[in-house]
């Protein structure tokens, strides 16, 4: 494919992403399957362009006078991000072959005018998201916005039940990779290779020696309070990543129950458990939390990784930042409170409840925690500092997380900790 044809393809893919609800990677995969003439170099270049545009969508739309179609955004990217001149852009937009049609008068004018003197952070995300980040972070909000638009690394969690850090490091290096130990999680390895390496075919992954899991997701599991011999409940198991982390924190001892309202998601957890050679009791929940009544008042630890906006992972799925609405966040807040209310029934007196989201929004984090605390006098906050003694954290991690915590609440973010955005609030049942 010519460079111009790649641009045309990228624009069409961006339009498909904008018009649907599928993840960007799924749309890219479908395009590749439908256009097998495109070589690996073409596919890589198109994917890189698509993600470049998605990460800078707000800025590029502002540059192009508010337009959000794929063609306009790519013209903006060529000018703003690549630094291409008008002549260079017109050389690509000449209507020849499979390339895009020539620039319109409006497009040419936007390129010639250059970028307006606007606060780029103000236009990077939807207005209601920016307002939320300002309220949470104060003067640091720009730093958080900028970090959310960056590239995310690939983090791995070494499964201590099957391998040592050294064994996994050796395998990864033998595969031509350069793993670095994570700063906070004692079982984390980070791969910064670009493009992101595919580690799933490696024997270590197939044999359960390591899992793909962001460092922040590992940390909230280590802070949950799970211990060997415990009765632990992963109340919103989803894909099972934290389920496997809890098994590791419990050193494979005790009883772990993984719950979800989706039978399909629970079915997807089964092969992951089998691969690492551990067991969990998988429970399908009813809409009102039914299906685990036998566990009422029995659990030592209940981790509630509640449905949320997923805004903490926008580095990985930047398209989602422009799909989210304020109304959806309000709906999720109400759902989070309802789920927490259901989960409390399972916690024994003296047991631990951990509320977790993969979100950077105060409306899903602090606001939900505050509403829960106001409604549940039978649960007392547990300082993060008390949970940070976990042996699964590094010494630096224990110190860093204790310093970042606000009492029983902790925020992790691309800007603050170099991780995905996560929130955790810890509680103990007192009666």
What is the number of other CB atoms lying within 10 angstroms of the CB of residue 313?
Answer: 23
Q: What are phi and psi of 2, to 5 degrees?
A: -75, 160
Q: Which residues contact 62 (CB under 8 A, 6 or more apart)?
A: 116, 118, 120, 123
CA 307 to chain centre: 12
Sign of CA dihedral 20, 24, 30, 32: positive
**How far is it, in rounded angstroms, from Cα 383 to Cα 367?**
18
Q: State the catalytic residue, choosing from 236, 259, 308, 358.
A: 358
The tokens describing 396, both together, are: 């630096």
Peptide bond just before 138 cis, omega within 30 deg: no
Closest among 90, 98, 1, 10 to 51, alpha carbons compared? 10
Phi/psi region, residue 148 (left: phi>0; alpha: psi -120 to 50; beta: rest), is alpha
Residue 236 appears among annotated catalytic residues? no
3 state DSSP class of 320: helix
The gap between the terminal CA atoms of the chain, to the nearest Å, is 67
Q: Which residues are catalytic?
A: 358
């Amino acid at each position: 494919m010519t460079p111009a044809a790649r641009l045309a393809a990228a624009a069409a893919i961006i339009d498909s992403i904008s018009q649907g609800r599928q993840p960007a990677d799924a749309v890219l995969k479908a395009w590749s399957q439908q256009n097998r003439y495109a070589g690996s170099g073409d596919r890589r270049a198109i994917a890189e362009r698509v993600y470049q545009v998605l990460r800078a969508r707000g800025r590029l739309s502002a540059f192009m006078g508010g337009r959000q179609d794929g063609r306009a955004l790519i013209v903006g990217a060529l000018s703003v991000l690549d630094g291409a001149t008008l002549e260079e852009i017109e050389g690509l937009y000449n209507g020849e072959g499979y390339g895009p049609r020539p620039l319109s008068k409006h497009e040419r004018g936007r390129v010639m005018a250059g970028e307006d003197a606007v606060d780029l952070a103000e236009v990077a995300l939807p207005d209601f998201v920016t307002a939320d980040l300002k309220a949470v972070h104060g003067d640091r909000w720009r730093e958080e916005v900028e970090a959310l638009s960056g590239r995310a690394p690939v983090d791995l969690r070494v499964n201590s039940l099957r391998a040592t850090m050294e064994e996994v490091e050796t395998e990864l290096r033998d595969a031509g990779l350069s793993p670095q130990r994570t700063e906070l999680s004692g079982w984390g390895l980070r791969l910064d290779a670009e493009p992101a390496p595919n580690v799933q075919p490696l024997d270590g992954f197939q044999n359960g020696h390591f899992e793909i899991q962001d460092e922040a997701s590992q940390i909230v599991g280590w802070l949950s309070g799970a211990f060997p011999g415990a009765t632990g409940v992963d109340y919103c198991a989803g894909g099972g990543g934290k389920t496997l982390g809890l098994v590791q924190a419990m050193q494979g001892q005790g009883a772990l129950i993984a719950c979800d309202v989706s039978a399909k998601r629970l079915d997807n957890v089964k092969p992951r458990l089998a691969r690492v050679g551990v067991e969990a009791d998988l429970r399908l929940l009813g809409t009102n939390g039914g299906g685990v009544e036998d566990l009422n008042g029995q659990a030592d630890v209940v981790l509630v990784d509640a449905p949320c906006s997923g805004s903490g992972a926008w580095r990985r799925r930047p398209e989602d930042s422009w799909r989210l609405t304020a109304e959806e966040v309000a709906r999720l807040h109400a759902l989070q409170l309802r789920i927490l209310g259901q989960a409390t029934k399972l916690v024994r007196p003296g047991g631990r409840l951990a509320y977790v989201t993969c979100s950077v929004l105060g409306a899903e984090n602090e606001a939900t925690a505050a509403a829960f605390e106001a409604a549940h006098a039978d649960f007392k906050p547990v300082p993060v500092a008390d949970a940070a003694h976990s042996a699964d954290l590094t010494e630096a991690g224990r110190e860093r997380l204790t310093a970042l915590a606000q009492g029983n609440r902790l925020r992790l973010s691309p800007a603050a900790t170099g991780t995905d955005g996560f929130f955790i609030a810890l509680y103990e049942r007192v009666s």
